[in-house]
Structure 1
Amino acid sequence: MSFAQDFPQQRAIMRVYSAYRFALAGVILIALIFGPANSTLGITAPKWFAIAVLGYVCFALLSLIVHTLLSSRYTQTQLFFEFFIDIGVIMLMSYCSGSADSGLPLLLIVTISAASITMPGQLSMAIAALATISAISEVAAHTLTERVSAQRFIVAGMTGTAYFSAAIAIRYLSGRIVKAQQLAERRRTDIEQLSRINQRIVQRMQTGIVVMSQTGQIKLINAAATELLDIPTPAPNTQQYAPPVLIDMARTTENSAKVIKIGPRHLDVHVNMSILEQNDDSDRLLYIENISKINQRAQNLKLASLGRFTASIAHEIRNPLSAISHAAQLLAESPDLNDVDKRFTTIIQNHALRMNDIIKNILELSRGRSAEPARFSLSAWLRQFLDDWQPTGHTPLDINIDSNLQDDFINVDRSQLTQIISNIADNGARHGAEKHSRAVLTFRCRKNPSSAAVSLDIIDNGQGIKEEDEDKIFEPFFTTQEQGNGLGLYLCRELCLANQIHIYYRRTERGESCFRLQFSHPDRGTLAE
């Protein structure tokens, strides 16, 4: 019978056995020094018995130090030598004690058991055979100096039988234990692998998952939930609590579901809470879904139908609009027009151009192509973009880049990202120049520590959006400018949606106007919103 013994287990067993060996040698030495005068220990050859005990104590101390301090792997020769020394010294002490009542040969059962656990089957049987031979030889050696009864040989043979029985029994039990331990280790590995898979699935889900106690202490939270709730990922061995609105919900004793506004962006989220066990003190499992995105998709479906209808109308309008614009241009060149008529032709041309821009944007929305995402560094791309980009109308402009990220990879369509940032930057430059003599744009790259997702803030020094208009700026045809068509930011939002980017308007800590682009994780591929 053979089985594999792991080195850490083998080392642990040898540490315990070396401690036992040292304690045994110490007890025998104390018994020799302080024991009664009529003790059987060393009665036949006290000098050799004392030498054997002292040598055994030194050997036991040395082996204890080796097994305790050193971590190198054992060789079979090393282990066999240690057990061989044990057998030789104990049998020598038994011979020096003379009497059969010393009981020292029975101590070898522990040695044989340790050898059966730590050594292969053949070598452990060899140790048992050596112990048996030593027991019989010790009795035979006494026959040279004294008369020995046959019963002593029978006892020695029975002792040898006990050695082999102990070796076989311990070997069998050790094999069963090791197999059970290996099976448990495989099951543990499988469970850990399944746990890692489940953890990865939970972390990559778009639905937010939170497991929390009734008092609000978070025990499990995935990346989607941290993004929705805008809370950092809890550090190891630290306690983190859910927002108060979720704690109030967790205090109920029944499963429930409700729609709440949460986070600095006031997102509408649907929270479905389930109690994991029947008792009221059990943990709560919360599923958090962003219904703002669902509502937005529903609105996009309506707008898509409207877009196809308006695109057909726009196509029909474009030809006569071109004719009107061309006629107004020719009319403006006539020398017979007075100043009032020329002003009217200018108005016709300006509004014709405006109508053409509206039709162009509508047709671009209706023909929207699918995104072709690519993985690249946002900071490097942004610097290249700003080297090539110029604001419309050559507005006086200062540009600042605030980015110290090393790993800021995103996975979006480059051309569509160019279109998004160009539109927002043009608006920021125009509004900044209207309020000040010179526009200032700041591009700030940051990374969310909880989800490792990258965000880009585009900050301008303009007047900013009025608070009552912040919810409307991404709606089609909403504009605060007399010459605007209200489709620029709507187009930006559509392109962001196609690239899994969340875009929203906010104010900075200093009250500056800011558009934030929050990119999804490049490996997760979708934003948990």
Structure 2
Amino acid sequence: MTAVPAFTALKLFRVYNHYRVTVGIILLGALFLQSEASISQTFAPYYFRIAAFSYAAVHVFTAFIMLAGFQPVIRHIVFSILLEVSLVTAMMLFGTGIAGGLGNMLVISVAASNIILRSQLGLLVAAISSLCVMGQEIYLLLNDSSNIDSVFRAGVLGVVYFATALLVRNLSYRISASEDLARRRAQNIEELERLNHQIIQRMLTGIIVTNEFGQVRMANQAALSLLGHEPTETLDMLPDDLMERLRDWQLDPGRKSLPFRGSSNRAPVQANFAMLQKEEGQDILIFLEDTGKIAQQAQQLKLASLGRLTAGIAHEIRNPLGAASHAAQLLLESDELNTADRQMTEIILRHAKRMNGIIENVLELSRGKTSTPEMIDLNEWLKTYINDYTAGGTISADIEVIRHKPDIQGRFDASHLSQILNNLIANGLRYSTAKTGYPWVGIVIGEIEDTRQAYLDILDNGPGIDNEQMRHLFEPFFTTDKKGTGLGLYLSKELCEANQAQLDYFKRDEGGSRFRITFPHPKRTT
């Protein structure tokens, strides 16, 4: 037999004591309401009153001390029930014996003890109750106050006590087994709920559970991050952009929503919706995908395919292209070429070099070398980079560095960052010189206050880019320069995405262009 837990035994004993207090009050009321002649029919009226008062007083006292905070343990409960049996037996002894019907009260006591204790102690209470009832009736018989019939009735009542104990023990065992099963199931459900919560919170996909009116019931950390919130913040309502896409989906569930920016400093977010059925009503499950990561995965597939393609390009194109370039160089060295042929040969050589540059860029892109990001002190790193850049043949270039804070760090692969700045600075110097005649580029080092993300702005005084060109700015082989390959900006953006950073273009109010590299969050390591 499984013992009842202590907190359950205490709760049951508290309820049972309320019953005993009620019975005690009823007994006292009966004593005051009955006539003196009725009381005088008992064997010992004075002691009967004392036993009745004691029964009520003991249980009222027990109620008060439990109300004051006392928590009885099993031995206290057993003692209290045995004291109750003794007082009831005393009332029977000083009253009218078995004929008064007080022995029936012990049936409740035996049943309660087996419900509360659920152990061999319940049978002990039944045994003591039987012995007490039989003992007091035999005592009365020996004093000529009872008869054999009453003793027999006391024996039958003892059998009833044991039958009650066994029946209640069986029922208590079933109840205990059901409680244990319910408790284990509740524990399993609670553990599964905690496990599901941890899994949902650790998912890289943003998860939001909301109702049809946009009231958020749950949002994981990835969702908060994608929407530009801190992990410790609480999201009560959907943002306006997401709410607009939810309404569009409710009108047409088959329609694919357009990406949106949860934060001005993050990549666009793709939202997908699903209905979550419940017993009453329905909720909506929203999945938020970081399009930057999707683009990164697409980039890896693209680079794998491009790698296979460029292996053939390198063999099939570079060899004949090298031969043509070498032949053009030999022709230029000839003294027999006239001016027109020399110009045509220079065109051939120039375009051969341009084609070779395209192949070099494609090969560089196809290698897809895995990025190894590290924390970089941007102020110190830029000093070294600019010294190396100007020492490489661009001494006349005016590269102005504007620092907003003295200590700004970003996570990036240093070699990738060098390649990106090489492209952006070379473009900026070229377009600034073409418009103003002065090779100037500005580099702004800053930090976004809300997200603590570092950024670099590369500024120039060139003509800028119109809206039509902006749509294709980062596409491969798109260029506004006749001498360009159209792969510089594309390669730069691909390298940024490989480092989980962003490369964006903005027009400057004073004219010219501004390219911004937004570094990933410093705590974001994957």
TM-score computed with the length of structure 1 as normaliser = 0.69
Question: Aligned pair 1:460/2:457, yes or no?
Answer: yes
| Residues 13 and 118, structure 1, Cα contact 8 Å, conserved in 2 | yes
| Superposition deviation, residue 172 in structure 1 | 0.8
Q: 1:498 to 1:66 in 2, by over 3 A?
A: farther
> 2:62 & 2:278 partners in 1: Cα distance?
54
Question: Aligned pair 1:5/2:4, yes or no?
Answer: yes
Counterparts in 2 of 1:14-29, with a 5 A limit? 14-29=13-28
> 1:403 & 1:30 partners in 2: Cα distance?
86
> 1:249 & 1:172 partners in 2: Cα distance?
58
| Residues 270 and 290, structure 1, Cα contact 8 Å, conserved in 2 | no
| Superposition deviation, residue 178 in structure 1 | 1.4
Match of 1:391 among 385, 394, 400: 385
DSSP 3-state at the match of 2:490:
helix
Code of the residue aligned with 1:391 in structure 2: it is Y
Counterpart residue number, 2:413: 417
> 1:237 & 1:28 partners in 2: Cα distance?
62
| Residues 42 and 50, structure 1, Cα contact 8 Å, conserved in 2 | no
> 2:104 & 2:428 partners in 1: Cα distance?
97
What do the CA deviations read for 1:446-501 (whole angstroms, capped 9, x no partner)? 66xxxxxxx734143736985835554443355678997654553454345556x2
Code of the residue aligned with 2:151 in structure 1: it is F
> 1:223 & 1:318 partners in 2: Cα distance?
54
Counterpart residue number, 1:503: 502
Bigger Rg, structure 1 or 2: 2
DSSP 3-state at the match of 1:462:
strand
| Superposition deviation, residue 176 in structure 1 | 0.6
Counterpart residue number, 1:246: 246
Code of the residue aligned with 2:5 in structure 1: it is D
Looking at both structures, which has the greater relative contact order when contacts are Cα pairs under 8 Å and sequence separation is at least 6?
Answer: 1
What do the CA deviations read for 1:420-463 (whole angstroms, capped 9, x no partner)? 4445567788899979997430144866xxxxxxx734143736
Q: 1:404 to 1:55 in 2, by over 3 A?
A: farther
| Residues 256 and 274, structure 1, Cα contact 8 Å, conserved in 2 | no
| Residues 41 and 97, structure 1, Cα contact 8 Å, conserved in 2 | no
| Superposition deviation, residue 122 in structure 1 | 1.6
> 2:29 & 2:448 partners in 1: Cα distance?
79
| Residues 429 and 440, structure 1, Cα contact 8 Å, conserved in 2 | no
| Residues 259 and 268, structure 1, Cα contact 8 Å, conserved in 2 | no
Counterpart residue number, 2:44: 45
Counterpart residue number, 1:516: 518
Counterpart residue number, 1:258: 256
Counterparts in 2 of 1:109-508, with a 5 A limit? 109-199=107-197, 211-219=209-217, 238=236, 240=238, 243-251=243-251, 256-263=254-261, 267=268, 269=270, 271=272, 273=274, 276=277, 282-284=282-284, 293=294, 296-297=298-299, 303-304=306-307, 307-309=310-312, 311-312=314-315, 316=319, 361-370=361-370, 381-383=375-377, 386-389=379-382, 390-392=384-386, 393=389, 395-400=399-404, 417-423=413-419, 439-444=443-448, 456-460=453-457, 462=459, 468=467, 471-478=471-478, 487=487, 489-495=489-495, 497-498=497-498, 501=500, 503-505=502-504
| Residues 224 and 235, structure 2, Cα contact 8 Å, conserved in 1 | no
DSSP 3-state at the match of 1:11:
helix
Code of the residue aligned with 2:413 in structure 1: it is L
Counterpart residue number, 2:75: 77
Q: 1:110 to 1:382 in 2, by over 3 A?
A: farther
TM-score computed with the length of structure 2 as normaliser = 0.69
Counterpart residue number, 1:339: none
What do the CA deviations read for 1:2-48 (whole angstroms, capped 9, x no partner)? 11422332222122123223333333334334554455599443443
> 2:316 & 2:141 partners in 1: Cα distance?
124
| Superposition deviation, residue 113 in structure 1 | 2.1
Q: 1:98 to 1:388 in 2, by over 3 A?
A: same
| Residues 137 and 150, structure 2, Cα contact 8 Å, conserved in 1 | yes
| Residues 274 and 284, structure 2, Cα contact 8 Å, conserved in 1 | yes
Q: Give the % identical residues.
A: 24
| Superposition deviation, residue 202 in structure 1 | 5.2
> 1:486 & 1:128 partners in 2: Cα distance?
97
Q: 1:154 to 1:420 in 2, by over 3 A?
A: farther
| Residues 476 and 487, structure 1, Cα contact 8 Å, conserved in 2 | yes
Counterpart residue number, 2:103: 105
> 1:174 & 1:516 partners in 2: Cα distance?
68
What do the CA deviations read for 1:271-294 (whole angstroms, capped 9, x no partner)? 465584899x64455666678947
DSSP 3-state at the match of 1:256:
coil
Q: 92-101 vs 391-400, which deviates more?
A: 391-400
> 1:235 & 1:24 partners in 2: Cα distance?
57
| Residues 18 and 67, structure 1, Cα contact 8 Å, conserved in 2 | no
Q: 1:148 to 1:274 in 2, by over 3 A?
A: closer
Q: 1:175 to 1:219 in 2, by over 3 A?
A: same
Counterpart residue number, 1:450: none
What do the CA deviations read for 1:29-79 (whole angstroms, capped 9, x no partner)? 34334554455599443443444444444432443345455486x644222
